Structure 1
Amino acid sequence: MSTSTAHRPGTVSLRDLLDRVPELTASLAVDTARREAARELPYASMDAVRASGIGGLRVPAAYGGPGASLVDLFQVVIDLSEADSNVAQALRPHFGFVEKLISDGTEAERERWFPAALAGELFGNATGETAAKHPGDIHATLAPDGGRYRLSGTKYYSTGSLFADWVVVAAKDHRDRRVRAVVPRGRPGLRLVDDWDGMGQRMTASGTTELDDVVVHPHEVVVDEAVGVRRTHLGAYHQLFLAAVETGIAKNAARDAIDYARDRARAVRHSGVEQAVQDPFVQHTVGEIAALGYGAEATVLRAAAAIDRALAGAPGEDGVAGAEPALAEAATDVAQAQVVAARAALRAAERLYDVGGASATRREFNFDRHWRNARTLVSHNPIAHKARVVGDYLLNAEAPPLTGFF
């Protein structure tokens, strides 16, 4: 468990925390292309994230946190992703856990876990199962055992867990209710396997979690009563996180295009110029790539503002944050942002090669990481479904479905 004491509740202002982000992202960006090619997992980078205190960005002021808005958070996610999209994606479960507490956590859960986030502790994920018929189906079990429980099952896509202090596991209890168990990473019976073999996001360590009769105490169990019952902002939040990481990839591709054109690219003979940076074709290409990232960033932040507005409304009678009509509209905004960000990341990654020709394909530059990373993220959810749901909302006033993917 992390023993960081650098960030006690109420000691860090939002402005101070945000001011640390440029130094953090600069450190994360050092040698990223080489480390990705060698698949060096970013343990040091995640320690830097812990030390920065940004894991507590969204903790409300009432609990001693800085109370960042979602616009603040997603700007940070974009900046992190521009430096290293693996680190940004590995933090998605952590920020999602904090967001769940904000949405519908009990007072006891908030009092227990918000201080951990403020202290720099990180939360990983063990939710998905490859044996399930549909994404989101759960077969892992939480069985009573006297005054405690036993947790068993196998998970995959365990993003961030190898770097985390706590692992959040989705399971079904003996009443067939969906529950979450929050257990320390080193607890006996919990085994994290680094077997993620995806072509992209190779350093997120999104591999297997094996659960063999893991002891779980009652205070570590949360019943997810709101899942699939009523709309919360969590589905839109998690989907916008993907779009924010894709946006960072597009911006990183723009940075590589600029650096390569300035420092490595050679002007072709028939261009009529001495340097590549003077070639109108290269200028146009760099400008297009930059515009793709710019547009995606603006779209993601606009969608984040829509969720912020929805959360500013009065909560429902069940205490869950946000009002239904505003949440449905925000979910539609997020779906549009996903279409824009996905296309921007893939297009920027492709256009990068037009800056340098065949030499840009050399392994030493590892430019293909941008497309591989973007394609892996975009593959989480079919963008065609996002566009269809938006169209249905605009044409027929049909709200996005309550599946957690909108």
Structure 2
Amino acid sequence: MTENDRRLHRQAALVKGRPAPHIAPRQKEAHRIRDDAEAIAIARELARDFAAGAVERDRERRLPLDEIERFSQSGLWAITVPKEYGGAGVSAATLAEVTAIISAADSSIGQIPQNHFYMVEALRLAGSEEQKRHYFKRILKGDRLGNAFTEIGTRTPVDFRTRFAERDGRLLLNGQKFYATGSLFAHVVVAVAKDAADRVHIVFIDRQTPGLDLVDDWSSFGQRSTGSGTVTFDEVEIEPFQVVDHDGVFERPTPMGPLAQIIHAAVQVGIARGALEETVAYVRAHARPFFELDIEHGYEDPHSIHALGDVAIRVHAAEALLARAGAFLDRATAAPDEATVAAASIAVAEVKAYGTEAAQLAANKLIELGGARSTLEGYGLDRYWRNARTHSLHDPVRWKYHHIGNFYLNGTLPPRHGAL
């Protein structure tokens, strides 16, 4: 992309979008979570509050700035920092459950830290000792990492034109990203970029660095308040200390891929859980019986009872698959090799595939069983389907089924990348 292309894209984005919000440097240190149980308890407390404003945030496409500040200050964004660096080092199952709890309340908020946790894992697996000490300390204090991974206008979303190279004694980064979930809220934007030898790295860039521009131009019909818009790097000067090798974590068996994906799976399971809970509450409170039935309440309708039972089974099955995938991922993290990493990848793919279908089914049945009144804008119940459908498009579920079937039928190990 030429400089003129970058300028034109920035101009177009500013017409469609809004300037990035100001994110002040962190003013105080975050709470330090001790263990898995505390993480779950705090997530439940936050979810109750986040649910209260979910409809309005979705309707107004309002960024959850205060909610994200509270989320990170709670200590939940640091729960995967290893214990030897002062973190809680929680299990993958706990990370997934925390994500599902928050996503049931507001799936945009649940998704926002996904890439933060991905980059924490990249540091754990590929960072130098000095990099780990530096960035883990910042994360424990409450700094948030944002994603600048995927690009548009390339053959695939993971073809990268964003690059850094040495020129006149300076290391300069140039390029543009989209779908940059989390960057609008970040203290550190993490760019995925190629070096002069076409090797892919991740680059940690403080938000106030000259040449780094963010635009709030995310206009999808779902996950409206994730802020997944444009990030541009225009002659951004970086130091070698900010660079961590990304290719290396997939050149050997590591839990990087399934760790990334179990968070996405948990978002879908959370949406399914939230839609089921909303269905029960709405049908109990508002649904009217079909006029052919001689009953008093909509919740006595035998077809509604049957449909609700079917949804409940599927949501609970998805929750069980999520916990199962977490156990597989914990084994792969403790002893990574071809077999454990492949098994974890397949287990995560199973819950991603099934959880995605469960979320869309639960979202559909919410409206079906709720009746015509449930479509009124004031209830905001359509957000479950819009969010489930939008979030599912990160990577096609049809390929999950392919890799799962190939693994069980032919013993073919799944590929190692961030989508498995």
TM-score range (shorter-chain normalised) is: over 0.9
Whether the aligned pair in 2 keeps the contact of 1:42 and 1:87 (CA below 8 Å) is yes
- The alpha carbon displacement at 1:37 in A equals 1.2
SS at match of 1:378: helix
Aligned twin of 2:363: 349
Alignment of 1:232-247 (within 5 A): 232-247=254-269
Which position in structure 2 is the counterpart of 1:275?
Answer: 297
CA shift, 1:227, in A, is: 4.8
The aligned residue for residue 138 of structure 1 is 160
Q: Deviations over 1:320-352 (max 9, x none)?
A: xx1121111111111111111111011111111
Partner residue of 2:279 out of 241, 252, 257: 257
Q: Which amino acid aligns with 1:236?
A: P
| Offset from partner CA, 1:56-105 (integer Å, 9 cap, x none) | 11111111111201011111011010011001111101111112222333
Instruction: Give the match for residue 73 of structure 1.
Output: 95
**1:269 aligned counterpart, secondary structure:** coil
Query: Could you list the per-position Cα deviations for residues 143-173 of structure 1 after superposition, in whole angstroms to 9, with x for gaps in the alignment?
Result: 2245542111111110010011110001112
Deviates more, 1:222-231 or 1:254-263: 222-231
Secondary structure, counterpart of 1:387 in structure 2? helix
1:375 matched to 2:389? The reply is yes
**Does 204-213 or 146-155 show the bigger shift?**
146-155
What is residue 54 of structure 2 aligned with on the other side? 32
TM-score, with length taken from structure 1 = 0.93
The one-letter code matched in structure 2 to 1:325 is A
How far off its partner does 1:239 sit?
Answer: 1.7
Match of 2:13 in 1: none
Matched, 1:187 2:209: yes
How far the C-alpha of 1:106 sits from its partner, in A, is 2.2
Check if 1:84 corresponds to 2:98.
no
Counterparts of 1:191 and 1:170, CA distance in 2: 15
Q: Are residues 1:4 and 2:25 paired?
A: no
Does the CA-based 8 Å contact 1:289-1:352 persist in structure 2? no
C-alpha contact (below 8 Å) 1:167/1:185 kept by paired residues: yes
Equivalent in the alignment of 1:319:
none
| CA distance in 2 between partners of 1:363 and 1:149 (Å) | 51
Aligned length: 396
Structure 1 segments, 4+ long, off by >6 Å, are none
CA contact (8 A) 1:253 1:289 kept: no
1:358 to 366, 372, 397: 372
Letter in structure 2 aligned against 1:129: E
Secondary structure at the residue paired with 1:379? Answer: helix
Q: For residues 214-229 of structure 1, what are the structure 2 equivalents within 5 Å?
A: 214-229=236-251
Distance change >3 Å, CA 402–CA 6, structure 1 → 2: closer
> Among 289, 293, 302, which residue is 2:324 paired with?
302
Read off the aligned partner of 1:201 and give its amino acid letter: Q
Q: How far apart are 1:141 and its partner, in Å? A: 1.4
Structure 1: give runs of 5+ residues left out of the alignment: 314-321
Distance 1:17 1:338, change over 3 A: closer
Root mean square deviation, CA, Å: 1.6
Q: Cα distance, 1:269 vs. partner? A: 2.5
Query: Which of 126, 140, 143 is equivalent to 1:121?
Result: 143
Q: CA deviation at 1:251?
A: 0.8
Distance across 2 between alignment mates of 1:141 and 1:103: 22
Q: State the one-letter code of the partner of 1:354.
A: E
Task: Kindly indicate whether the alpha-carbon contact (under 8 Å) linking 1:103 and 1:233 is maintained by their aligned counterparts in 2.
Answer: no
* Structure 2, unpaired ranges of 5+: 1-24
Q: Which whole-Å CA distance do the structure 1 matches of 2:313 and 2:53 have between them?
A: 25
Distance 1:112 1:362, change over 3 A: same
Instruction: Work out which of the residue numbers 202, 218, 223 in structure 2 matches 1:196.
Output: 218
> Which deviates more, 259-268 or 41-50?
259-268
Residue pair 2:193, 2:201 contacting (<8 A) in 1 also: yes
Structure 1: which amino acid aligns with 2:313? A
